[in-house]
Amino acid sequence: MTISSDQIISEIREIWPTFSSSKILTADAWYQKPKRQEVDDFINNTYLSEYQFTAEVMDCEDFSLILHAFIIQERYKDMQRLGITGEQRLPWAFGQIWLTKYQGNTAGHAQNICLTDDEGIVLIEPQTNEFFVASSTQDVPYHIRI
């Protein structure tokens, strides 16, 4: 499903209505909302398991940055390899999210975010590949980059 940058902002603000639109950075005009299983398939093929958590060097924001870049890279490779055209040739609505509260824990943390076609907005813990449906009460973002 195709989604515009403005629609991404609207969907995010449906979960977090008081979250400022100015703290949501979308780099492109149009995106594709993948199915959750598609995202899961990509994530299970990352090289992130090669890295070990190292405070200040390879921690949560580094893992989320690498996963974000990996998704972009692999989507590009798939588009080239499979000859994907038209609406399917858009980047996924996938990015990074920095939170002051996540899954009920009050602490600064970075994860990944994806607007999916079948499960809504999901948060991904890039250090464990776990998925969580975004919650208006359990998760409090302070910056999002798609």
Q: Where are the domains of the chain?
A: 2-145
Among 20-34, 71-85, 92-106, the range scoring the smallest mean pLDDT is 71-85
Q: Evaluate if residue 122 carries a pLDDT over 90.
A: yes
pLDDT of residue 14 exceeding 70, the answer is yes
CA of 85: how far to CAs of 78, 79, 90, 143, in Å?
Answer: 11, 8, 9, 32
CATH class label, 2-145: alpha beta
Across 79-108, average pLDDT:
90
Q: How confident is the model at residue 133 (pLDDT cuts 50, 70, 90)?
A: very high
pLDDT, the chain, mean: 91
Task: With a cut of 90, say whether residue 30 has pLDDT above it.
Answer: yes
Exposure of 89 in the CB half-sphere (CA atoms within 13 A): 8
Confidence at residue 57, expressed as pLDDT on a 0 to 100 scale: 63
